[in-house]
């Protein structure tokens, strides 16, 4: 293997990833840019489009990714930008009307991370297989492979849970499960607003979602949420985060959330 081939191989692997996500996530208390997906925004957008397509496969049978409507492509772009550190928000809030793809997008994020890890592991294996036997080239390969493996090790595996299930957990005796919700590095909460606002545990009143959000806020944990609720629509009817959970929680959302709004025709109406 000649010098130019060696350098190009290492450059390709190095350039396809950016800073370790753990470095950024650990800085989130200072509102530093996060990078959950350590690649370029353009590659993240491609990966997320493929992942979205996989999640939506049954509904989009017979069509190709190019046929995604402009609104969906715009949302994918916005989410890819957040995933790769294009904003200073540590939470992602996917909200809007029913049936417009919020939960699908959340699942596509998880799928995109899994695809990235699987493909990067294959690239690392291919590079290791082609590692030259002579020094100093061999040491260059080893160093880059170790760097790439460290990046992959630091990508958190998201935990997906419905808001209703999170409320159920706090009322049960599964303390370990609730602690996991509080401290998991990357938590995806689906359908915020469908859970009970208050629950009783041995006579004590708890506000499960508020407690969960406050804990994750204080601990600096990465959180992705989907909901039909706007953050504040200035109506006291339970149709916003502010009217359902109070101004304190709404302020947390305004401070922490990168917001992606979902409008348009319901996917469920197209089936």
Alpha-helical (H) ranges within the chain are: 3-15, 21-25, 41-55, 70-83, 102-129, 137-153, 163-171, 175-183, 208-219, 241-245, 247-256
- State pLDDT tens for residues 58-95: 666 556 666 788 999 999 999 999 999 999 899 999 99
Region 204-231: mean pLDDT is 93
pTM over 0.95, yes/no: no
Between 42 and 174, the more confident residue is 42
In order of 171, 172, 192, 223, 228, the CA distances from 201 in angstroms are 6, 8, 21, 25, 27
- Whether residue 13 has pLDDT greater than 70: no
Residue 23: what pLDDT?
A: 43
Residue 89: what pLDDT?
A: 93
Task: Compute the mean pLDDT over every residue in the chain, rounded to the nearest whole number.
Answer: 84
């Amino acid at each position: 293997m000649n010098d130019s081939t060696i350098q190009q191989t290492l450059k390709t692997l190095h350039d396809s990833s950016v800073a370790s996500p753990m470095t950024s996530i650990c800085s989130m208390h200072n509102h530093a840019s996060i990078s959950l997906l350590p690649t370029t925004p353009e590659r993240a957008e491609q990966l997320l489009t493929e992942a979205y397509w996989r999640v939506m496969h049954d509904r989009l049978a017979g069509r190709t990714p190019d046929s995604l409507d402009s609104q969906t492509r715009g949302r994918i772009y916005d989410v890819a930008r957040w995933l790769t550190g294009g904003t200073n928000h540590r939470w992602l809030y996917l909200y809007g009307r029913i049936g417009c793809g919020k939960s699908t997008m959340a699942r596509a994020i998880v799928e995109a991370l899994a695809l990235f890890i699987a493909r990067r592991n294959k690239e690392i294996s291919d590079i290791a297989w082609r590692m030259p036997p002579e020094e100093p080239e061999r040491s260059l390969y080893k160093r880059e492979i170790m760097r790439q493996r460290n990046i992959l090790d630091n990508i958190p595996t998201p935990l997906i849970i419905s808001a209703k299930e999170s409320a159920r957990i706090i009322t049960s005796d599964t303390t370990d499960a609730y602690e996991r919700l509080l401290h998991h590095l990357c938590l995806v909460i689906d359908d915020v607003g469908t859970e009970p606002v208050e629950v009783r545990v041995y006579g004590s009143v708890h506000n499960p979602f508020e407690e969960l959000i406050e804990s994750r806020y204080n601990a600096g944990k990465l959180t992705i949420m989907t909901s039909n609720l706007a953050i504040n629509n200035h109506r006291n009817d339970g149709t916003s985060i502010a009217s359902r959970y109070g101004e304190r929680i709404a302020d947390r959302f305004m401070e922490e959330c990168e917001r992606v709004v979902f409008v348009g025709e319901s996917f469920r109406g197209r089936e």
